Amino acid sequence: MQINANSLSLQAVNFYNMNVFTTKQALQKALTPLREANSTVGFVPTMGALHEGHLSLIHKALDENDVVVVSVFVNPTQFNNTSDLAKYPRTLAQDLKKINTLATTKILVYTPEADDIYGASVSKSVFDFGGLAHQMEGKYRSGHFDGVGTVVQRLFEIVQPHFAYFGEKDFQQLAIIKKLVQLMKSPIKVVGCPVARAQNGLALSSRNARLTTEEQDAAAKIYRVLQSVKEKFGTENAIQIKEWVIHQFKNDPILMLEYFEISDALTLKSMRTKEPKTKYRAFIAAYVRDVRLIDNIALN
């Protein structure tokens, strides 16, 4: 079903023959008749600067749902670094062009301002994610996951999707959001999707747009290291592997390692000794100048 956003509200616009909504009231007005027709709603929340990884999430959502909502909102509450927030790419016109290449009659785009999400006071809630937020990103980005939980909870309440799609590049975030759904006692099914990569192996990220071509080539080393870690995982212990990884980055002229961890894929706790029947993943965070990159890989 194609929805003519222009007929719904002045807060909904028809852009590139797409349905773009700037307020939750207009979006919800468009979704109401679809729910009444028992249409399934998929949701892909993004912070914009869309790349092929985002588009792969939208493709999967389109394949599995009658209609898909894509949000484009740079969420201020999940940035613990104000400079990072200020420098985060904002490319809405280009994002809409990319979305327009997909099945636009099935896509509703939600592009709110902060006050539409948060009201007069932009603040974050505090969540108990059962220890998931205390590892890795949680150690280095204070309050980050409370900000993520706050905005995702509000977006879920606005969109009320049946399925929500997130990439495994942010694997810890994916685990947090699955826990959030449990805390909300929500029927939403959270779907994790494989890491999308450039031809050189670099995990696709909106932040990659801030890297030069040379820096992007250098950053591909992160994935090569993770692939080597997967090979070593069968024969070496965690301490040996960690020492090897640190050595790989020690004198790198472009990449600065922030952390490397081998963690239980379920609890995200650091591996001490390998336990049978436990799934593990390796996680890396590294900097190119002030651009922070993360990646991970399943080990078994």
**For residue 68, what are the contacts with CB-CB under 8 A and spacing of at least 6?**
41, 42, 43, 44, 58, 61, 62, 106, 107, 108
CA separation, residue 200 to residues 1, 196, 203, 211 (Å): 39, 11, 9, 14
Please name the residues in contact with 67: beta carbons below 8 A apart, sequence gap of 6 or more: 1, 31, 34, 39, 40, 41, 42, 106, 107, 108
Active site residues: 54
CA distance 259 to 246: 9
- With contact defined as beta carbons under 8 Å apart, do 263 and 281 qualify? yes
Task: Tokens 């040379």: give the residue.
Answer: 214
Residue 252 to residue 61: CA distance in whole angstroms: 39
CA–CA distance, 173 with 168 (Å, rounded to integer): 8
Tell me which residue has tokens 């078994």: 300
Torsion of CA 169, 175, 177, 183, to 10 degrees: 180
SS3 108: strand
Q: Distance from CA of residue 42 to its chain's centroid?
A: 15
What is the β-pairing status of strands 291-298 and 12-15?
unpaired
For the chain, how long is the longest CA-to-CA vector? 63
